Structure 1
């Protein structure tokens, strides 16, 4: 019972993605901020990267918020703690979270006499605070690095050369299927062998950045078989334009 549902889902994705790409090409643009912009085919791509940049800004802003909250330079706290750890010093004794300090308190006697005393206090809670905020620092550093690497990776994957090579790879992915596997996937006809003569350049221009971004996200969250079926459906129904349209992709 799961198989027909999976096939219906793949067919729905095929139709929906093709409808979106055809609509973009028919209207010569996409919607940005509620306004249809002619020759603008990167609305989803722009939104996607803005969200990724906001993720990075969020992690960086956490450092400045913690600087203000803790009233010390939290940005360099992890570097200081790790340098002590690797140099063999006692990194457990942190000046940022002291375990022993001087506490001032007042004792009121009869009348208006007030006496202030300064005594040594133990702060065992700082044993945990020290480790907790070091973990927070490491986690924010890891998130920042991963966000930056993710942005760089997506920029590279959406370059013209990468899009063309990915298109060829996914179009040829179905060729490795055995006849039994093709039967299970309900492939009605054997797909043609695509080689270097494929019009990959024209096809990627037909998909534009938005169409390829949506497809690439689907491909990264499924497998090459399903991705190959989707891209093959788009390519089989792709009609090269009879005239050239100006595009910013």
Structure 2
């Protein structure tokens, strides 16, 4: 029941479900996205501007040929005895506009990456369920208890990478003998 539940609900996690790291990774992605949104809100509060839509307003103003002045925090012109242009404020305003575009870019990339991983996790889980019987057959009929034991010994003494390579070679031989290579994505590590 636990495996069935974790297969249908990828947000259920724990050591028993086998998806703790995957769910933790997706939670971290959500925290990254929340960080981006929080930065946009805090910068908007600092600049006394609607910073959530700042870049869109700048692009709209530039496309119409208007002045793209954004923040009242950085005045461009000041009245002294004569009218002064403050180049450092122009520079600061440009930096904050660049930051807006950068933060929005990072938020979009993070969202797309998280969505891609969510879809990959779901696809991998579906592939695992579809091929579980084949892998169980491989371990019980081909490797048998001794083969599994030897593979664990190899893994403990030589290393998991070498054991995985040996296991993959054995799987390829088994799959060719039994014409199981219907799906190129299927490996013994899918279960």
Q: Same fold (TM over 0.5)?
A: yes
- TM-score scaled to structure 2, two decimals? 0.57
SS at match of 1:101: strand
- TM-score scaled to structure 1, two decimals? 0.45
- Give distance in 2, aligned partners of 1:38 and 1:128: 51
Q: How does 1:158-237 map to 2 (within 5 A)?
A: 158-160=121-123, 163-164=126-127, 191=173, 192-193=175-176, 194-196=180-182, 231-232=187-188, 234=189
Q: Which residue matches 1:55?
A: 32
Match of 1:135 among 82, 98, 118: 98
Can you list the C-alpha shifts for 1:48-90, whole angstroms capped at 9, x where unaligned? 1111110100111101111222232222221111101122224
Match of 1:155 among 107, 118, 121: 118
Unaligned ranges ≥5, structure 1: 1-24, 30-35, 104-117, 172-184, 199-223, 239-249
- Give distance in 2, aligned partners of 1:101 and 1:46: 53
The higher-RCO structure (CA 8 Å, 6+ apart) is 1
Unaligned ranges ≥5, structure 2: 7-12, 136-164
Q: Which residue matches 2:109?
A: 146
C-alpha RMSD of matched pairs (Å) = 4.0
The 3 A distance-change label for structure 1 pair 152 and 68 is: same
1:87 matches 2:64: yes
Structure number having the greater strand percentage: 1
1:46 matches 2:23: yes
Q: Which residue matches 1:98?
A: 75
